[in-house]
A = this chain, B = another copy of it.
Amino acid sequence: MSEFVIDWEREDRVGVAEALLCDGKSGGQIEAILDAAGARPLLLTRLAADKLAALPPACRSRLAYDLSSRTAFFGEVAAPSRLGPGIVCAGTSDLAVAREAARTLAFYGFDAPVLADVGVAGLWRLLERIERIREFSLVIAVAGMEGALFSVLGGLISAPLIALPTSNGYGVAAGGQAALTGALASCAPGVVTVNIDNGFGAACAALRILRCMVR
């Protein structure tokens, strides 16, 4: 009996295919799963550069790797053809997580522009670009530290807003609990959140919404 039981039907059922979370998996396990995938395209997340380097060349050659987001596309993936959510990002350190979301959306054909350095300590940076942000039918906000961006943005736009807290920060903000709490306790109505650093999850939530928009 094969050890790996991939949920290949997941895309039909929930709109997104099973992705391969590489954290916690050995190189051998990753290779075996890619073998099982055959011709089916697959998204790999949290693939560290040294784990990638240790894969056999034949395997590696079929992966389109992006270092900053630590994601890889396995197999043929078409270029994004539709406009997806806007991704509004508080600080430079949050960009890696923002890009995991953007790459996941790209895998599914959506282009998601990233607007960087929109932290609320310099509010003008947000206000200056708010009209641009209001044009998106859906927004993912990415922030570490105290996550005040979620509340401010939530009070300024009417589109669905997905908070994506990151683990950037130190002291009480270390690990992302402060940003997550900022999202959950937000005084702005209707902000929803995903787990800390879960760029993949935020993108999947966006896909669920995007697909019911175009229905």
Contacts and interface: CB of A to CB of B under 8 A. Distances in A.
The 8 closest A-B pairs by CB, nearest first: A190-B204, A171-B196, A7-B122, A24-B93, A5-B117, A192-B192, A173-B185, A148-B148
B168 A24 contact: yes
A50 to B, nearest CB: 16
Copies of this chain, complex-wide, total: 8
Interface in A168-208: 168-198, 200-201, 203-208
Given A138-B212, A212-B138, A188 B5 contact: no
A25 interface: yes
Given A121-B151, A196-B172, A160 B14 contact: no
Interface of A: 3-7, 9-10, 13-16, 18-19, 21, 23-25, 29, 33, 46, 90-93, 95, 116-125, 137-138, 145-148, 150-152, 154-162, 167-198, 200-201, 203-209, 211-213, 215
Contact of A213 (B13, B121, B213): B213
Contacts of A177: 172, 181
B201 A14 contact: no
A115 to B, nearest CB: 9
Contacts of A3: 92, 95, 116-117
